[in-house]
Amino acid sequence: MARAHKAKSALRARDELTVSHHERLVEELRADPKLAAAYLNVAAKDGDARVYLAALRAVARISSRLAEGE
């Protein structure tokens, strides 16, 4: 039982020190509209529609949250 408790404590400590890639991306794109535009341009040049649509979806969500006042 002590082993399980240690494992949970270690995971909790790690989670407090890490940030998900998505959270970090959202913060950076929200803070810098030029970066958001560049992000979309790079995704468009990739040639894979799925990549571009994922980038567009991320930027659209950020934009809609800004419009709502979040």
Write the pLDDT tens digit of every residue in 17-44. 788 888 888 889 999 999 999 999 999 9
Out of 4-8, 12-16, 28-32, 62-66, the most confident range is 28-32
Name the burial class of residue 59, with classes exposed (0-12), middle (13-18) and buried (19+) by CB atoms within 10 angstroms of its CB.
buried
Give the tokens for residue 14.
């790690």
Residue spans per domain, the chain? 19-68
Q: How confident is the model at residue 5 (pLDDT cuts 50, 70, 90)?
A: low
Instruction: Considering only residues 1 and 21, tell me which one the structure prediction assigns the higher pLDDT.
Output: 21
For residue 11, pLDDT over 80 is answered with no
Name the burial class of residue 63, with classes exposed (0-12), middle (13-18) and buried (19+) by CB atoms within 10 angstroms of its CB.
middle
